[in-house]
C-alpha cells in the first residue's frame, strides 16, 4: 500500500475522455517498464488524435519475440472504453473494422470503470459478457474485461500514472509534475533555440537516461537547464514518447528533501521504474540519493538540476556543467519573442544578459527598469524610448540584489527589511512593494538559502560599481559594518563570485 494509491470512488468519477487518457498513460507506462517500442502502439488522445480504425481507443500489436508484459494478455489487442453494458458493447462490436480485427484473431479488451454486476468476480463478469455476445451477435471472440479492480491494480502499479490521477482530482502530491504538465509551464513558453554545445548536451542527457542511472546538471540560474533537460525528451521518435510517460518532475527539491527521499525509498521497495527529475537540488541531497540508488537494486533514473556548482564537479563523472548560452541563441530568442524590437535593443539585452536567456526575455518584457548609471548613457537613452517612466526605486532594489549572493529576506523580519531598505536608500514599505514585484517578474526566486537573484553577472558588476562609486565612504562604512553576520557573509560571497573587481 502506497500513499499514492487511487481508490474505486476516484476511478468511478472519470468520464469517457479521461478514461481514454488514462488508458493511454497505462499502455505507455507498460511499454516503458518492459522496453516495448512505441511503434507497436496506437493510442487515441482525447481532443488531439484518434485512431482511424472504427472506434478503437488503443491498438497494441507486439512482435512474437517479445514476452507478454503483466497487463497485456496477448500479442494483438484492441482496447475500447466506450461500452459500459451489453447493449453498448454490442453496438461497438458491430462496427466493420472492429469485427475485422476480431475475425483476424485480435483480443478485444473492454476497459470499463462503471460496470456494475454485484456479487460477481472478474472471471464471472467476463463469462457473463461472452455469453451475451455469443447469444446476440454469434461472434467467436477472445474477450477480456478490465473492470475497476483490474484497472486500479494497473494504475497503482505505476506511480507516474498515480500522479496524473491525483492531478485530475485536483491534488498535487509532493509537488510532482509530469511531462505534460511541464509542456504547459513557463519553461516551454518560447521556442527552444539551441547551438552545437546544447545539441551535444541534449544527446548526452538522452544517452544517460538510456544507458546510465544518474546525471546532475549544474549552471547559473536562467540559462535554460530545466528546459534543456526536458527538450532531451521532446524528440520526435518512439523512444522519446515512451520515456516521456515515465517522467516525474519535482520543483524546489531542497524544500522537500524528506518527502523526495522517502518517495524514492518507497519506489525501490515496490520495484517501480520511473525517471525522476529533481530541480533546485543541492549537492548534499543529490549525494544522499546517489548513495541510496547505488547501494540498493532499483529501476530508477535520477536527474538532478541545480544553479550552484559544487566543488565535486570534476571528481564526479555524473556531473555535467551547463554550457554558457551563445549570444546568437539569445538574439534568436529575443527576435522570436519581440519581432518589433529594434536591433540596438536586442544587442543591448544580449550583452547584459551574459549568457542568460531567461534574463534577456524578462528584461525585454519590462517597461519600468531604469538603466541610467548602469550602462553608457547613449545606450540608456535609446533603451528608455517607449519604455515608460523611469522607476528609480526599482533600480535601487536591483542594486541591493547585486551586492549580495542571496537575500535572506522575510517580510515578518523587520530588522532585515530595514537593513535592505537602508542600503537601497528607500523606505521599508517601498522595499516590500518592490520585492513582491521582483518575485512576480521572476527576477527574484526563493531558494534554499533565501531569495536568490537571477541578475546576470555583467549587470551585477555595473550595479555594484555604481553603488560603491556613488555612495560616500562614511555611508558605506556605516551600512556595511553594521550588517548582520549572514548579510556580511553573502556580501563577501558575491564579491568573490564576481571575481574581485579591483574597483570594489
Residue 334 resides in a domain: no
How many Å apart are CA 201 and CA 249, to the nearest integer?
19
- Statement to judge: residues 125 and 199 lie in one domain: no
**How would you list the strands of the sheet with 301-306, edge to edge?**
176-177, 247-250, 275-278, 301-306, 214-218, 319-321
- Statement to judge: residues 221 and 312 lie in one domain: yes
Residue 355 resides in a domain: no
**What are the E-state strand segments in 81-124?**
107-111
Q: Which of 121, 155, 189 is the last residue of a domain?
A: 155
Radius of gyration of the chain, Cα coordinates, nearest whole angstrom: 28
- Statement to judge: residues 215 and 290 lie in one domain: yes
Residues of the chain below pLDDT 50: 47-48, 367-390, 411-412, 500-504
According to DSSP, residue 502 is labeled T
- Statement to judge: residues 146 and 183 lie in one domain: no
Residue 480 resides in a domain: yes
Q: Which of 299, 321, 343 is the last residue of a domain?
A: 321
Q: Which helix (H) or strand (E) holds 247?
A: strand 247-250
Q: Residue 377's pLDDT is what?
A: 37
Residue 394 resides in a domain: yes
State the CATH number of the domain containing residue 392. 1.10.10.10
Residue 428 resides in a domain: yes
Q: Residue 503's pLDDT is what?
A: 47
Residue 503 resides in a domain: no
Whether the CB-CB separation of 168 and 18 falls below 8 Å is answered with: yes
Q: Which of 321, 343, 366 is the last residue of a domain?
A: 321
Q: What's the structural domain count of the chain? A: 3
Torsion of CA 211, 215, 221, 224, to 10 degrees: 0
Q: Residue 71's pLDDT is what?
A: 94
- Statement to judge: residues 14 and 135 lie in one domain: yes
- Statement to judge: residues 197 and 146 lie in one domain: no
How many Å apart are CA 140 and CA 344, to the nearest integer?
74
- Statement to judge: residues 491 and 425 lie in one domain: yes
Q: Residue 460's pLDDT is what?
A: 60
Residue 304 resides in a domain: yes
- Statement to judge: residues 118 and 240 lie in one domain: no
Residue 75 resides in a domain: yes
- Count of CB atoms within 10 A of residue 92's CB? 18
Q: Residue 385's pLDDT is what?
A: 32
- Statement to judge: residues 32 and 125 lie in one domain: yes
Q: Residue 251's pLDDT is what?
A: 81
- Statement to judge: residues 395 and 313 lie in one domain: no
Angle at the Cα of 429 from the Cα atoms of 426 and 433, rounded to 5 degrees: 100
- Statement to judge: residues 217 and 309 lie in one domain: yes
| Structural domain span for residue 436 | 375-498
- Statement to judge: residues 404 and 479 lie in one domain: yes
Q: Residue 292's pLDDT is what?
A: 94
Whether the CB-CB separation of 323 and 297 falls below 8 Å is answered with: no
> How confident is the model over 225-267, as pLDDT tens digits?
888 888 888 766 556 677 788 888 988 788 788 889 988 998 8
State the CATH number of the domain containing residue 193. 3.40.50.300
Q: Residue 308's pLDDT is what?
A: 75
Amino acid at each position: 500500500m502506497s500513499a499514492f494509491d487511487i481508490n474505486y470512488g476516484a476511478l468511478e468519477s472519470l468520464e469517457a475522455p479521461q478514461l481514454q487518457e488514462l488508458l493511454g498513460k497505462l499502455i505507455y507506462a507498460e511499454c516503458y517498464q518492459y522496453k516495448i517500442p512505441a511503434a507497436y502502439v496506437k493510442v487515441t488522445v482525447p481532443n488531439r488524435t484518434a485512431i482511424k480504425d472504427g472506434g478503437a481507443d488503443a491498438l497494441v500489436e507486439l512482435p512474437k519475440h517479445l514476452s507478454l508484459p503483466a497487463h497485456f494478455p496477448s500479442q494483438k489487442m484492441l482496447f475500447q472504453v466506450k461500452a459500459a453494458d451489453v447493449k453498448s458493447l454490442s453496438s461497438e462490436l458491430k462496427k466493420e473494422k472492429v469485427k475485422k480485427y476480431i475475425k483476424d484473431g485480435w483480443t478485444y479488451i473492454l476497459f470499463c470503470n462503471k460496470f456494475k454486476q454485484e456479487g460477481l468476480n472478474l472471471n464471472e463478469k467476463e463469462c457473463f459478457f461472452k455469453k451475451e455476445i455469443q447469444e446476440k451477435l454469434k461472434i467467436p471472440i477472445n474477450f477480456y474485461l478490465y473492470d475497476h479492480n483490474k484497472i486500479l491494480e494497473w494504475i497503482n502499479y505505476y506511480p507516474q500514472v498515480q500522479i496524473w490521477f491525483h492531478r485530475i482530482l485536483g491534488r498535487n502530491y509532493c509537488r510532482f509534475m509530469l511531462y505534460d504538465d511541464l509542456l504547459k509551464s513557463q519553461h516551454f513558453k518560447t521556442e527552444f533555440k539551441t547551438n552545437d554545445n546544447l545539441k551535444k548536451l541534449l544527446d548526452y542527457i538522452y544517452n544517460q537516461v538510456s544507458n546510465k542511472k544518474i546525471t546532475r546538471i549544474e549552471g547559473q540560474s536562467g540559462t535554460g537547464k530545466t528546459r534543456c533537460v526536458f527538450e532531451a525528451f521532446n524528440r520526435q521518435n518512439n523512444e522519446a514518447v515512451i520515456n516521456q510517460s515515465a517522467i516525474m518532475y519535482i520543483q524546489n527539491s531542497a524544500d522537500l528533501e524528506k518527502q523526495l527521499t522517502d518517495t524514492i525509498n518507497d519506489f525501490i521497495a515496490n520495484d517501480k521504474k520511473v525517471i525522476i527529475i529533481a530541480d533546485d537540488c543541492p549537492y548534499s541531497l543529490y549525494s544522499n540519493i546517489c548513495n541510496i540508488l547505488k547501494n540498493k537494486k532499483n529501476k530508477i533514473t535520477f536527474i538532478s538540476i541545480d544553479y550552484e556548482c559544487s566543488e565535486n564537479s570534476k571528481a564526479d563523472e555524473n556531473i555535467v556543467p551547463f554550457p554558457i548560452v551563445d549570444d546568437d541563441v539569445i538574439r534568436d530568442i529575443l527576435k522570436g519573442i519581440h519581432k518589433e524590437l529594434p536591433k540596438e535593443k536586442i544587442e543591448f539585452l544580449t550583452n547584459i544578459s551574459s549568457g542568460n536567456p531567461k534574463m534577456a526575455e524578462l528584461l525585454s518584457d519590462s517597461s519600468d527598469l531604469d538603466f541610467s548609471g548602469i550602462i553608457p548613457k547613449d545606450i540608456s537613452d535609446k533603451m528608455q524610448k517607449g519604455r515608460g517612466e523611469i522607476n528609480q526605486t526599482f533600480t535601487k532594489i536591483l542594486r541591493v540584489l547585486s551586492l549580495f549572493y542571496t537575500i535572506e529576506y522575510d517580510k515578518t523580519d523587520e530588522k532585515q527589511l530595514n537593513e535592505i531598505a537602508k542600503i537601497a536608500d528607500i523606505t521599508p514599505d517601498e522595499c516590500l512593494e518592490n520585492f513582491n514585484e521582483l518575485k512576480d517578474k521572476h527576477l527574484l526566486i526563493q531558494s534554499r538559502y533565501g531569495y536568490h537573484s537571477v541578475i546576470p553577472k555583467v549587470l551585477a558588476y555595473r550595479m555594484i560599481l555604481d553603488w560603491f562609486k556613488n555612495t560616500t565612504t562614511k555611508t558605506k562604512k556605516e551600512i556595511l559594518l553594521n550588517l548582520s553576520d549572514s548579510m556580511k557573509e553573502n556580501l563577501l560571497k558575491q564579491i568573490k563570485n564576481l571575481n574581485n573587481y579591483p574597483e570594489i
